Every structure is written in structure tokens, then in C-alpha cells.
Chain A
Amino acid sequence: MTMAFESINYTYPGSGTGVHDLSMTVGPGELVALIGASGSGKTTALKLLAGFTRPQAGLIRIGDRDVTEVTAEERRLGVVFQNYALFPHLCAWENVAFPLRVRGVPHPIRRAQAIQMLERVGMGARVGSMPHMLSGGQQQRVALARALVFDPKGLLLDEPLSALDAALRVEMRDEILRVQRQSGIATLLVTHDQEEALSVADRVAVMREGRIVQIGTPRVLYDTPVDAYVAGFVGQSNLWPGIVEREGLVGTSVGPIACVTGTRTRGDAVIVFVRPEWIEPLARSPRAEVAGEIAGETLSDRFLGPVRRIDLAVGTGMVRLETHLRTPVSAVRIPPERVRLLPPLE
């Protein structure tokens, strides 16, 4: 079933923060991630969709139905909270059976369904455990089972992995994705972790100051961000403010960069954007007459396992590259075809 925001506006009383003119659709079986910095409005969007908060303008649809005025109880959406929000007095299966109890499902049936759902999330061995006896990851699995057991129309995940340690986060990320794919349920994931969003979502929406700045597949967002904010938020970036000197050449703090300038003309302000892994290390000295071949002094050289991340001081700026090479790097080539020009910051 589809979940959709249509021109939603909500401003918190006494402040200008909230969401503004928010329009977005989560298709059947699709997993859309909302990412953004703290206060960008992503959690507010989730609360609006869940029915915890009423919008001041706009429509919220689930399927074909306008649910803007429908209470959270009646929306039939599964929600997984950041701190799990399991009921402390109920054991795992009783927690999972809670929504079935609310709907009047007889005790033996709801118990069987709850245990079956717990088995689906790998918690079949702990059905009688109280929440405080379970680890963070186990509690999150129970919360996921509880959110899915009543066949909800959509699934909302509010920072579901942020309370877990790094190794468990990866494991649970894969688990959530597996269960979501198995259920074929429309899912909205709110997270501040761009890596988490890129790795699980079909589409990612980047929010800033209550608005969606860009929405697209992880690949589109990574390769062609619409502005420096998205580029900086999604992955590592080199972002150099520059001025178009002539067609195919932009002057920057790290020197002239050859690139496709498109419709921009001489004197236009731009931001030059290149991902660190798109930059090629040079084994020889750079040629002065070739724009985009640069020599620099190593500021830092960090070993990250699969790659090394090297920061080179060049002119008054800095070039960051990632490479598999193990040899020292002091010169690089910035391939013109990989360079993107973004609008200057307002």
C-alpha cells in the first residue's frame, strides 16, 4: 500500500522549525529513507505520517484514503522506535501479541501468531523473556515483530539502529531489510546515518530545514547531488568554491580544474564537486599545462582497511582522495568527466 505526503505543512508552536510543503510518496514494497541533520524535520515527518502529530495544512494518504484527520490508533501503521518502546511488564510474545489483543484476537491464536512472528525475526528461543533480559538488538527484533504482526499498511522506522553498537547495527540493518522485503510493505526509514540509508533504501530523501532538498535512488544522490549540502551530507566530498574562467575551466583554491561547464559563462560562481575515490593518484609529477593535475603536501594519510584516505594541502585549499595504492601519493589527477559543478551556497 502507498503512503503519501501532499503539500504538508507543520510548524512547532513558538518556533519556525517543522516541515514545509512536504510532498513525497512511498510506493508499495518500497523502502524510502529520510535523512538529514538534527532539526531538519525528518522525525516530524514520521510523526505526521504515524498520526502522532496533525499537520496544519496538506493531506496524508495511505492507499487511496485520506487519513489526515485519522488518529494514530486507526491508521494501522507499524512503528519501530529508536529506544524500542517495549512494554516492560510484558514478555516478548506478549509484547508482540499486544496489537492482536487490541483487535480482539483470541488468546491461543494471538499467542501462536506472536511466536510465529518472533521466529521470523530470529527470536524464537526468547519468546518468554522479559524486555530487560534482552540485549538491544534482541529488543529491536521484538519491536520489529510487534510492528509487523498485525499486518500493517505501512512500516515506519524511527532511527531504529542508532542505539546499537557498530557490529550489531550492520547485522540488524540486514535483518530489517530481509524482513521488509519478505513482507513487501511500504516502509519509511528515518535516520541520520547516511551509510545506513544508502545501503538499505530504494530511494533516499535528504531533508534540510523542513524541506526535501533531493530525493532519488542512492546512486543518483551519490553521483549527482543537486547542491553542496546534499553532496556533503551523502558520503565524502571535495567541494571547492570557484569561478568559471572560460568554457571547460574553473578556477578554484586548489588551482584550475578542467570540467564540463555547460551553460555557465565566464565569471559565474560555482562549487566544484568531486568524490575522493574519483580522484586518480599520479605516479609522476603533474604537468603544469594540464588543468586538474595537482601536486600537494600530505596533511593526513589514514588507513581505513579497504582504502587509504589522503588529504593533500594544495594552494589555499585541500584535496581529499581515497585510493587502494599503498605507495606515497603527492600528486593527483582530477578527471574532467567526473567533475560536477553545483550552484554556489546561498
Chain B
Amino acid sequence: MIGKSLRIVFLAALFIYFALPLIMTVIFSLSRGQAGFGPDAYVALLSRGDLLAPLWMSAQLALATVACILLVMVPAVIAVHLFAPRLRMLLELAAILPFVIPGIALVAGLSVLISGPGWLIGSPFFLTLPYFFLALPYAYRAIDIAISNLDLAQLRLAAASLGAGVGRTILWVVMPNLWPALVNAALMTFTVVLGEFTVANILLFQTFPVSINLVGKSEPAEAAALTIVSFLLTWIALLIVLLVGRNSRKTFDPVQSGASS
């Protein structure tokens, strides 16, 4: 009985902790001060022209980071699982680092280490580098779990005995099984980049979260509305992840479903 009560109190506290700031932000975004409530801030958002460019910039950065993550991490995790399982610990460690290294330290380190090429240093796409590391834990975890569930080493042997080389094994066996995990990793990366503020602000690039911050200084209600909109966008992205994950487990059995084979 006490355990049940404690559980309810704990869940209520959690709900308040997560939901209260959101509810207050929604109320604030709809507030007209003494004139009551209305969607003015949201309407004002639609008429603003200065937010589209930062949003487009963040979207481009997110796509570039997703491309880097998929191009680097997928081959790396597959290679480690197939040929050097002992190096997995190293990848695990690398994936934890973004959690323990503060954003400012990451930026300082990268600025010292990376001094070229010139077109990258002055460009907002320099952000792709720190974003790669920030998204690494989520992307790595998604890909690693999917590969671990596959028993890749055994499937590689099976494919080899059936005549498939490494290339065909990766293309015909590994990739189709990894597809939901890749979508998952890509969307997680996308959401991380779309919401990242610290690094972009330090490096003085005008990304979407930096713009929200700027808007907040002059138009707090619009900033709150923008926060809610971006929050909803993130939730939609996560919902897509969930749906993709669920659909990947659904399979079609023509015999059981009555279709001819």
C-alpha cells in the first residue's frame, strides 16, 4: 500500500517536473497580458521573415550531421562487430565522452585541433564537427543495439558459406536489418542538432535555437510560441522513430494471411 502511494507520489512529481514548464510556456505564449488569451504570438510567428533562414540553416546542419554519422558510424560499428569485437569498449567510451565533456570544452578543443580547411573554419558547417560528437551517443547506441541483436558474426559466416563476400553480406544482409536503426539514429541526430544552442551560440552562428533566444529578448511571447512549435516538431520526429520501429517488427506471412505464395 505504502509502495503504491510512494509510486503515485513519485510519478506525480515526475509529471510536474516535466510538464509544468511546458504548460507554463504554453500559457505564456497564449497570454495577452491583461487582455486575456489568444494565438497572437503564433500568428506573429507566421509573419516573421527572420526565422526561416536560421531554421533552414539548422535543417541543413542536421542533414549534414546525419550524413556524417551514417557514413562514419555505420561502417565503424559493423567493422568492429565483425573483425575487432574487442575494440567495442573503445567505441562505448567514445560514445560516452559527449556526456562528460562540457560544450565549451568541446568547442575549445575542436577550435585548437581543427585549423583548416579554410572553407570549413569560417562556415556554419564547422558546427557539423561538434554536432557529430554531440549526436554520437544516441546514434551509436541505436546502431550498436541493432547489430548486437543480429548476431552479425554468425550471419557473416552463413552468408560466406552461401557464396556472399563481405560487400554483398553488408548490402544484402546487414543493411536491410539495420534500416529501422538507421532511421532511428538519423532522427535522433536530427533532433539533437535542431535543439542545440550552446555550441552555436559560443561560435556565434545564427542557428534556430540561437534565434529563439534572440527573439526571446525582445518578444518573449513569440519566443515561447516558437519553443512550443519546435518542441512539437521534435515530438513528431520521435513519433516517426517509434512508428518506424514498430513497423519494422511487423512482417507479412502470405500463407497465414491467405495470399498465394
Interface positions of A (Cβ within 8 A of B): 50-52, 71-79, 81, 83, 85-89, 91, 93, 98-99, 101-103, 115, 125-130, 132-133, 146-147, 150, 156
* Assembled-state Cα–Cα distance A327/B31 (Å): 97
8 closest pairs, A vs B, by CB?
Answer: A128-B254, A85-B158, A99-B162, A79-B161, A72-B160, A102-B163, A130-B251, A128-B261
Please give me the residue from chain A that is nearest to B248 by CB atom.
A89
Specify which of B158, B163, B251 is in contact with A81 (CB 8 Å cutoff). Answer: B158
* Assembled-state Cα–Cα distance A175/B139 (Å): 45
Please give me the residue from chain A that is nearest to B177 by CB atom.
A89
Q: What is the CB-to-nearest-CB distance from A150 to chain B, in angstroms, rounded to a whole number?
A: 7
Chain A residues closer than 8 Å to B259, beta-carbon distance = 128
* Assembled-state Cα–Cα distance A125/B261 (Å): 9
Could you tell me if A73 and B173 are in contact, using CB atoms closer than 8 angstroms?
no
Please give me the residue from chain A that is nearest to B158 by CB atom.
A85
Report 30 cross-chain contacts, Cβ distance below 8 Å, ordered by A residue: A51-B161, A72-B157, A72-B160, A73-B160, A73-B161, A73-B163, A75-B161, A83-B151, A83-B154, A87-B155, A88-B150, A88-B177, A89-B173, A89-B177, A93-B261, A98-B159, A115-B261, A127-B255, A128-B259, A129-B253, A129-B255, A129-B256, A130-B251, A130-B253, A132-B251, A133-B251, A133-B256, A146-B162, A150-B162, A150-B163
* Assembled-state Cα–Cα distance A85/B177 (Å): 14
Specify which of B161, B164, B177 is in contact with A78 (CB 8 Å cutoff). Answer: B161
Chain B residues closer than 8 Å to A115, beta-carbon distance = 261
Q: What is the CB-to-nearest-CB distance from B163 to chain A, in angstroms, rounded to a whole number?
A: 4
Chain A residues closer than 8 Å to B163, beta-carbon distance = 73-74, 76, 99, 102-103, 150
Q: What is the CB-to-nearest-CB distance from B159 to chain A, in angstroms, rounded to a whole number?
A: 8
Q: What is the CB-to-nearest-CB distance from A91 to chain B, in angstroms, rounded to a whole number?
A: 8
* Assembled-state Cα–Cα distance A98/B176 (Å): 14
Task: Evaluate whether A79 and B158 lie within 8 angstroms (CB atoms) in the complex, with A73-B163, A126-B255 already known.
Answer: yes
Please give me the residue from chain B that is nearest to A83 by CB atom.
B154
Could you tell me if B157 and A85 are in contact, using CB atoms closer than 8 angstroms?
yes
Size range of the chain B interface in the assembly: 20 to 34
Q: What is the CB-to-nearest-CB distance from B247 to chain A, in angstroms, rounded to a whole number?
A: 13
Given contacts A88-B150, A128-B253, A130-B252, 6 further A-B contacts (CB under 8 A): A73-B160, A73-B164, A74-B163, A83-B154, A85-B155, A99-B163
Chain A residues closer than 8 Å to B256, beta-carbon distance = 129, 133
B165 on interface, CB distance cutoff 8 Å = yes
Could you tell me if B161 and A50 are in contact, using CB atoms closer than 8 angstroms?
yes
Chain A residues closer than 8 Å to B161, beta-carbon distance = 50-52, 72-73, 75, 77-79, 147, 156
Q: What is the CB-to-nearest-CB distance from A83 to chain B, in angstroms, rounded to a whole number?
A: 7
Could you tell me if A87 and B173 are in contact, using CB atoms closer than 8 angstroms?
yes
* Assembled-state Cα–Cα distance A157/B10 (Å): 55
Please give me the residue from chain A that is nearest to B257 by CB atom.
A128
Could you tell me if A81 and B154 are in contact, using CB atoms closer than 8 angstroms?
yes
Please give me the residue from chain B that is nearest to A77 by CB atom.
B161
* A-contact bits for B240-254, CB 8 A (1 contact / 0 none): 000000000001111
B141 on interface, CB distance cutoff 8 Å = no
Residue among A51, A72, A125, A147 with most chain B CB within 10 A? A72
Could you tell me if B154 and A102 are in contact, using CB atoms closer than 8 angstroms?
no
Chain B residues closer than 8 Å to A128, beta-carbon distance = 252-255, 259, 261
Q: What is the CB-to-nearest-CB distance from B181 to chain A, in angstroms, rounded to a whole number?
A: 12
* Assembled-state Cα–Cα distance A156/B162 (Å): 12
Could you tell me if B164 and A102 are in contact, using CB atoms closer than 8 angstroms?
yes
* Assembled-state Cα–Cα distance A102/B158 (Å): 13
Q: What is the CB-to-nearest-CB distance from B135 to chain A, in angstroms, rounded to a whole number?
A: 26
* Assembled-state Cα–Cα distance A264/B155 (Å): 54
Please give me the residue from chain B that is nearest to A156 by CB atom.
B161
Q: What is the CB-to-nearest-CB distance from B167 to chain A, in angstroms, rounded to a whole number?
A: 11
Please give me the residue from chain B that is nearest to A128 by CB atom.
B254
* Assembled-state Cα–Cα distance A102/B160 (Å): 10
* Assembled-state Cα–Cα distance A115/B151 (Å): 26
Chain B residues closer than 8 Å to A129, beta-carbon distance = 253, 255-256
Q: What is the CB-to-nearest-CB distance from A220 to chain B, in angstroms, rounded to a whole number?
A: 32
Chain B residues closer than 8 Å to A133, beta-carbon distance = 251, 253, 256
B168 on interface, CB distance cutoff 8 Å = yes
* Assembled-state Cα–Cα distance A98/B157 (Å): 14
Please give me the residue from chain A that is nearest to B251 by CB atom.
A130
* Assembled-state Cα–Cα distance A130/B257 (Å): 12
Could you tell me if B253 and A98 are in contact, using CB atoms closer than 8 angstroms?
no
Residue among A77, A125, A128 with most chain B CB within 10 A? A128
Task: Evaluate whether A102 and B162 lie within 8 angstroms (CB atoms) in the complex, with A88-B150, A129-B255 already known.
Answer: yes
* Assembled-state Cα–Cα distance A115/B172 (Å): 20
Residue among A51, A81, A85, A127 with most chain B CB within 10 A? A85
Chain B residues closer than 8 Å to A98, beta-carbon distance = 159, 162, 164, 172
* Assembled-state Cα–Cα distance A156/B158 (Å): 12
* Assembled-state Cα–Cα distance A88/B255 (Å): 18
* Assembled-state Cα–Cα distance A284/B48 (Å): 110
Q: What is the CB-to-nearest-CB distance from A136 to chain B, in angstroms, rounded to a whole number?
A: 16
